[in-house]
């Protein structure tokens, strides 16, 4: 047997790459004067879709967020124009309106414009607002979904979004409003009761407030919490903590990096499913919820 990498199905990596190229050659035509809103995924470039990769190669100009990882940006061909469109909590960033105006301007110059956004463009990413601005300006657009951080990031942390023994629902929440405060529209009381698993985006700045509202709404201070920083990137960091201790734990994370807050029993499954940790020697438990012991006792 040769030394080429083989997938479990016995296909060589080279033939997989050929298929990827073939798929990409059947990809939609990127018309000049149009905008593609493209999801860059949570960071690991391997999590980009083939459509996203195709878009990066076809674009004349790429307008990207601060959240897009340098690993993904490295896939942009040299010579393709890049425009940074900011947005990272705490730092000054261009106004949303200015970004939309820029996209319209570039499209009207006949460019193929990629608007590259971290995660998925339509999940807490203002992609819908930008798309509506394009509609108002009569500019053709396409959406290329990306893997949202609340999904891909949790999986790299070894936390499943659902498990039969822990939750039948999961809620994605934003912990931050455009104006900087905690969103008034989030009914923490109702969420606390109705959703066993909460995945909070942009919650870092208000973590103390979020934890105390959840406890006031009836969640236990001992409820498991995970803080996931730089999910899917080489410097990913995960802290397992509890609701009453999470605000303190947050301070141990580096400043200015994206963080997800996960609340609920799903976090306990990490003891069995931290596959990345296992690759570095962590011993995984086959029954992290102690279901067997509990059923024997019952």
Q: Select from 48-56, 76-84, 216-224, 257-265 the region that touches ligand SAH (CB under 6 A).
A: 257-265
Pick one of 145, 158, 258, 288: the residue that binds ligand SAH (CB under 6 A): 258
Segment contacting ligand SAH by CB under 6 A, of 56-64, 112-120, 129-137, 219-227 = 112-120
Q: Rule CB under 6 A: is residue 228 a binding residue for ligand SAH? A: yes
The reply on whether position 230 binds ligand SAH by CB under 6 A is yes
Strand order in the sheet with 170-174: 170-174, 197-201, 259-263, 224-229, 237-242
288 in contact with ligand SAH (CB under 6 A):
no
Interface with ligand SAH includes 154 (CB under 6 A)?
Answer: no
How many CA atoms lie less than 13 Å away from 240 in the CB half-sphere? 14
Separate counts of helices (H) and strands (E) for the chain: 12, 10
Q: State the pairing for strand pair 259-263/224-229.
A: antiparallel
Q: 257, 249 in Cβ contact below 8 A? A: no
Mask for 18-47, x = binds ligand SAH (CB under 6 A): ------------------------xx----
Alpha carbons 169 and 160: distance in angstroms, whole number: 12
Question: Is 3 part of the annotated catalytic residue set?
Answer: no
- The C-alpha atoms of residue 96 and residue 106 are separated, in whole angstroms, by 16
Check if 87 is active-site.
yes
The answer to the question of residue 214 lying near ligand SAH (CB under 6 A) is no
Q: Are 72 and 119 in contact (CB under 8 A)?
A: no
Residues contributing to the site for ligand SAH (CB under 6 A) = 42-43, 67, 117-120, 123-125, 148-149, 153, 201-202, 228-232, 258-260
Catalytic residues: 65, 87, 202
């Amino acid at each position: 047997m040769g030394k080429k990498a083989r997938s479990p199905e016995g296909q060589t990596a080279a033939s997989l790459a050929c298929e990827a190229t073939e798929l990409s050659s059947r990809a939609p035509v990127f018309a000049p004067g149009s905008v593609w809103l493209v999801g860059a995924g949570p960071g690991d470039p391997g999590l980009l879709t083939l459509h996203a990769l195709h878009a990066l190669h076809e674009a004349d100009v790429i307008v990207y967020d601060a959240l897009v990882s340098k690993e993904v940006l490295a896939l942009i061909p040299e010579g393709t124009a890049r425009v940074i469109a900011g947005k990272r909590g705490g730092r000054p960033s261009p106004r949303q309106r200015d970004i939309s105006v820029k996209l319209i301007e570039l499209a009207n110059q006949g460019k193929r414009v990629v608007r590259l956004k971290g995660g998925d463009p339509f999940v807490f990413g203002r992609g819908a607002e930008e798309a509506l601005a394009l509609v108002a300006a009569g500019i053709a657009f396409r959406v290329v979904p990306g893997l949202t951080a609340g999904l891909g990031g949790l999986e790299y942390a070894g936390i499943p979004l659902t498990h039969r023994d822990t939750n039948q629902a999961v809620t994605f929440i934003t912990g931050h409003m455009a104006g900087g405060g905690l969103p008034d529209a989030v009914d923490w009381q109702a969420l606390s009761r109705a959703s066993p698993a909460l995945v909070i985006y942009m919650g870092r700045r208000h973590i103390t407030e979020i934890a105390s509202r959840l406890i006031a709404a009836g969640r236990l201070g001992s409820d498991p919490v995970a803080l996931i920083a730089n999910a899917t990137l080489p410097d990913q960091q995960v802290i397992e903590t509890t609701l009453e201790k999470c605000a303190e734990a947050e301070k141990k994370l580096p400043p200015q990096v994206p963080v997800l807050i996960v609340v609920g029993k799903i976090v306990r499954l990490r003891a069995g499913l931290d596959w990345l940790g296992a690759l570095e020697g962590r011993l995984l438990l086959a029954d992290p919820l102690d279901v067997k012991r509990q059923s024997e006792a019952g």
